[in-house]
Amino acid sequence: MSFLNTIRGLGRGSKKNKKDLEPTQPSLYAHSNLSGSNLRRTQSPTKGSPTKMSARGATGNYTSSPTKRNKLQQQQQPQFEQQHHHHQQPQQSEQSMLPLKRSTVQTVSSNATSAEPPLFLCEPYVKSALVKGSFKTIVQLPKYVDSFEWLALNIFELFNHLNRFYGVIQEYDTPETCPTMNAGPNTNYLWLNSNGQAVNLPACQYIEYVIAWISNKLNDQSVFPTKNGGAFPPNFVKDCKNITRQMFRIFAHIYYNHFDTIVHLSLEAHWNSFFAHFVSFVKEFNLVDRTEMEPLIPLIDNLEQQGKII
């Protein structure tokens, strides 16, 4: 079943009308039974700044040749050097290839427990889904398919869908509503500026940096080759981990801060199923550590109990 087609046309800055919720073409799930090894992405997710997607990003189909892509401008590409601050003990981990901006995670200890669970953990929303059963067979590597091609194809498609979902709620994600990039009361994602100082950014600015960085990665032929015979770089898996980790942070922020908007638009079933698919994929290939997924562990555990994630 293709659930993401129903949000086709809801790009950044577009109007949210019921008539827009019509499927237009096969989605990612059309690739689940592929048995050939020549899997190629069909177009770069964004060309230029992702803040300009609006109508162009909302209505365009991914059909043009990837070999004709123009190089993206590099002036806003962030670099992600992940540092996790647990009880004031930072631990440095991976760096990406481009020596620009970076981000950190700040975990805030709290003795008080929330009286009420977040909306996405309440029934009936936590059980709302379009797909019955798990996504295990969808994310597994098909026979005779190159593993790097499979990773690249799925990351490309998942990022496109996440970018479109963010376009749906972007107008509600402002510096006033979300002055920090948080994922609940205990997790805050900070930005390391050029001086190495950890600073708070509005969530919308943080996410725009992330989207620009991922877009540039996907458009870089040396990282995500699309031409026949193109070789994947030795650090390809590391890039995939960095990309999916940042994608998870966008999921977490939206769940904690904009799930009410998702419900208002009657998209909670689509969103939950999409998230279950994403988590199934990153678990299948060990792309995101469980510690990184801590803000949404209660939801992930619930989805596992429901059999949607195995």
Cα-based distances in Å from 16 to 264, 276, 283, 296:
11, 24, 33, 27
Extract the tokens encoding 159.
Answer: 């990022």
Q: What is the CATH number of domain 4-14+32-57+71-110+121-305?
A: 1.20.140.30
Please report the DSSP string for 7-38 in residue order: GTT--TT----GGG----S--GGGGTT---S-
Mean pLDDT of all residues in the chain? 74
- Determine which of 56-65, 167-176, 241-250, 279-288 has the lowest per-residue pLDDT on average: 56-65
Between 12 and 300, the more confident residue is 300
- Determine which of 30-39, 187-196, 271-280 has the lowest per-residue pLDDT on average: 30-39
Confidence at 116, pLDDT banded by 50, 70, 90: confident
Between 107 and 212, the more confident residue is 212
Per-residue confidence (pLDDT) for residue 51, from 0 to 100:
41
Tell me if 178 is assigned to a ligand binding site: yes
- pTM of the shown model: 0.70
Cα-based distances in Å from 19 to 7, 15, 160, 168, 191:
10, 10, 21, 15, 39
Element (DSSP H or E) covering residue 196? none
Between 68 and 127, the more confident residue is 127
Q: Is the peptide bond before 124 cis (omega within 30 degrees of 0)?
A: yes
Per-residue confidence (pLDDT) for residue 229, from 0 to 100:
76
Confidence at 45, pLDDT banded by 50, 70, 90: very low
Phi-psi region of 281 (alpha: psi -120 to 50; beta: other; left: phi over 0): alpha
In the chain, % of residues over pLDDT 70: 63
Integer Cα distance of 41 and 226 in angstroms: 7
pLDDT digits (tens, 9 = 90+) for 82-91: 333 333 333 3
Integer Cα distance of 175 and 262 in angstroms: 19
Tell me if 253 is assigned to a ligand binding site: yes
The length of the chain is: 310
Is it the case that residue 71 has pLDDT exceeding 70?
no
Residues forming a β-bridge with 182 = 188
Element (DSSP H or E) covering residue 188? strand 187-192
In the chain, % of residues over pLDDT 90: 55
Residue 85 has phi, psi (to 5 degrees) of -100, 100
Per-residue confidence (pLDDT) for residue 115, from 0 to 100:
65
pLDDT digits (tens, 9 = 90+) for 159-207: 999 999 999 999 999 999 999 999 999 999 998 878 888 889 999 999 9
